[in-house]
Amino acid sequence: MDIGYARVSTAKQDLARQLDALAAAGVDPAHIHVDKKSGATTDRPGLQAALIDARAGDVLVVHTLDRLGRTVRDTLNLVHELKERGVGIRTMADPLAIDTSEPDGPMSQLAFVMLALFGQMERTYAAERAAHARAVATANGRRTGRPTVVDADKLEHASMLRDRGFSMREIIVKTGLKRTTLYRHLPPRSPNNDLGNRQTG
């Protein structure tokens, strides 16, 4: 029996293409398991259900090999575990065909190792590119990550309170803004301001 597994990294991504491919390959929808989880997490109940469902002689069918493991080692360990149980793995869309249900096929085994390595290399390169982009942005004085939406009126009020000598704790209480937000968004204090005296008038 063929058992299908499909995964996307976030809840906003669509599983339709993988599910359509599994259906076209003849996998019974009752035996298709899905996850909307990053491959970096071990909490993938769909994959666990697929592994529990698999019996000796079955084949686990996936769109591409990178749907299965977090790393090359994880993927190799999973294939070894399934092989010990008599369960094969077949991919549908990888550029090199993989079907470990034919253990005597040397090209299938070679393709599996190469694709696992290429997938790991791409994840490594992507992480390096992202880290480099963040470093360049930081060096150029640009913030990275999601933009923070701050109430302009509250920020103006906080700036006024700070210039009048209120402590950061008092400003937090009066404005409801977080300390990290205040440190990030408040403009520099005027050098002419007397920091030691609170001006209440």
Burial class (CB in 10 A: 0-12, 13-18, 19+), 36: middle
Tokens of 84: 């010990």
What residues have CB less than 8 Å from 171, skipping those under 6 apart? 158, 161, 162, 177, 182
Catalytic entry in 9, 38, 167, 190:
9
Closest by CA to 87, choosing from 125, 48, 61, is 61
For residue 7, give the H/E element and its range: strand 2-8
Does the annotation count 38 as an active-site position? no
Closest by CA to 198, choosing from 167, 152, 170, 164, is 164
Residues labelled catalytic: 9
